[in-house]
Structure 1
C-alpha cells in the first residue's frame, strides 16, 4: 500500500528510522525558511537546511517506488542554491517519481535556477503561489513581493520550458476575491494551464499571524462558492480548475504539522 509523507529538516532522522516503503506522494522542504512574509502564513521558520548525506540516504535506501514528488511545500525551495542538484539527485535514485515531479515556489527567485536543467532532471510541473494581478494587493498580501518580477520569471520559464505544466495557486481572501477572474486571464496569457484556488483559513491560536488582519481578510459565508461558480462558468472548458475551501485547508495544515515533527 502506497502512503503520503512530508519530509523536512525536522523529521529527516525519524524518516531514516522507517523501513523502505512505496509512496504515493512525498512533499519535501530542503530549507526551513521563506523569503516572503505572507500575512496568512502560519508556519514558523528557522535557518536550518537539509543534510545532503541524510537526504541521499533516504531517497536511495528508504524509497521503494513513488508516484509523485514535490519540492517546496510549506517553505520556499528556491532559497536553496542546491535546488537543481536536489532534483538531479532524486532523478538518479529510486525516488524518481513515475507520475508528477513538481516544484512549488513563490516565483520570486525562480530566475536564479537553471530551468532547462530542472526539465532534464525530469520536472513535469511547476506551481506558483500568486494571489492577484494587482501590484498593491500582491505586495500587501505577500510581504512586499514584486508582482512584476514574479510574472516576468514565470513567463520566461514558460517560454524556456513549454513542456512543463505550470499551475497558479491562489490563496483567496476578502482583499483579492474580486481579482481572480483577471488572474486566470493573465495567467493563461503567459502559459499557465492550471489554477488552484484555496480559501484562506484563520487559526486564532497561531502565535505568528496578525489576527486583526486575518479577521478582515476572511471571506464571508458563501463567497468562495460563488467564486467557484463564476470561474468555472468563464474558464471551465479552457484550463484545469481546482477549489479547496477553508475547512479542508485547515485539516491539511493540521496533518502537515503533525507529519513534520
Structure 2
C-alpha cells in the first residue's frame, strides 16, 4: 500500500508540473513508473580497510542475518511497483559477510538484478566461484588510483598490486567457467588526490579488459557548488572514446 500511495503522489506532482517540461512523463501510463528506482541493502558494516574518504570509522561491526535479508526481499516482492535492481553495498565490505553468495542467490531467484561494490582485497578462487555460481550481475571494484602510491594513500590498508592480481584472477575464473557475468566494473571516486591519474585509470581498465568504469564525485557535506571542482575539470569527452564503457554523472551536479 505504501508504494502504491507513493506512486500516486509522484505522478500527481508530474502532472502539476507538466508545464515545466514534464509533459512527456505525465503522458506515460502509471505502470511505467517503479518506486524506488533501486534498492540498497547493507549486508555488513565490517571492513578490512580504513579509506580516508570513508565515514565508517566509528561504526559497530555487525552482519545482517540471512533471515532478515530474506524478509526484506519478501516485502519488496509484495508490490509490482518495486524496482528489480538491488545493490548490496553500504559502508562495509560485502565479501566479509559469510553468507553474501547466499544473499545474491536468494535475490536472483526472486527476480532481482544484483550488484555490489567491493575493495577486492579479499577475493580468492573459492569466493569468486561462489559469487559467479550465485549469478551476481555486476561487480564494482573500488580503484581510486592507477599507481601504487596514489591508490594506497586513498585505500588505506589495501595493496594495489594484489587488487590488480585479483581482478585478473576473477576474469580468468569467469573465462574458465564460460560465463559473462558478473560484469567487472571499476568504480573511481574522483578527488584532488587522484584527478591527475584519471586517464591512467582508463588505460588500466583497458589493459585489464573490464566491462567499464563508473566515475563518482567525492561529495563533501554542506557543499552545493560542483561546477568548479576537480571532477568538472576532466575532459570526459576524450575519455569516452575508450574501448571500455565509461559512466559519469553530470558535471553540473553531484551523483
**TM-score of the two chains, using structure 1 as the length reference:** 0.71
1:32 aligned partner: 45
Superposed counterparts of 1:7-22, under 5 Å: none
Gaps of 5+ in 1: 4-20, 206-218, 250-261
Q: Give 1:174's match in structure 2, choosing from 185, 192, 199.
A: 192
2:213 aligned partner: 195
Shift of 1:247: 4.9
CA distance in 2, matches of 1:134, 1:77: 25
Gaps of 5+ in 2: 7-33
Shift of 1:181: 0.9
Asked if residue 86 in structure 1 is aligned to residue 103 in structure 2, the reply is yes
**TM-score of the two chains, using structure 2 as the length reference:** 0.73
Higher strand share: 1
Asked if residue 240 in structure 1 is aligned to residue 251 in structure 2, the reply is no
Shift of 1:204: 6.9
| Cα distance per residue 1:93-129 (max 9 Å; x no partner) | x3x31xx321211111122653233233221211011
2:89 aligned partner: 72
| Cα distance per residue 1:157-205 (max 9 Å; x no partner) | 1222251221111111222111111111111211212111122232379
Contact 1:34 1:45 (C-alpha < 8 Å) held by counterparts: no
| Cα distance per residue 1:229-258 (max 9 Å; x no partner) | 2x4314435222122359524xxxxxxxxx
CA distance in 2, matches of 1:151, 1:246: 32
Shift of 1:62: 4.1
Q: Secondary structure at the match of 1:34?
A: coil
Alpha-carbon distance change, 61 to 113 in structure 1, aligned in 2, over 3 angstroms = farther
Alpha-carbon distance change, 62 to 146 in structure 1, aligned in 2, over 3 angstroms = same
Equivalences, count: 213
Query: If you compute each CA radius of gyration, which structure gives the higher value, 1 or 2?
Result: 2
More RCO (CA 8 Å, sep 6+): 1
Q: Secondary structure at the match of 2:156?
A: coil
Alpha-carbon distance change, 220 to 37 in structure 1, aligned in 2, over 3 angstroms = farther
CA distance in 2, matches of 1:158, 1:91: 21
2:124 aligned partner: 111
CA distance in 1, matches of 2:141, 2:75: 31
CA distance in 1, matches of 2:248, 2:35: 28
Contact 2:86 2:115 (C-alpha < 8 Å) held by counterparts: yes
CA distance in 2, matches of 1:62, 1:220: 37
Contact 1:84 1:113 (C-alpha < 8 Å) held by counterparts: no
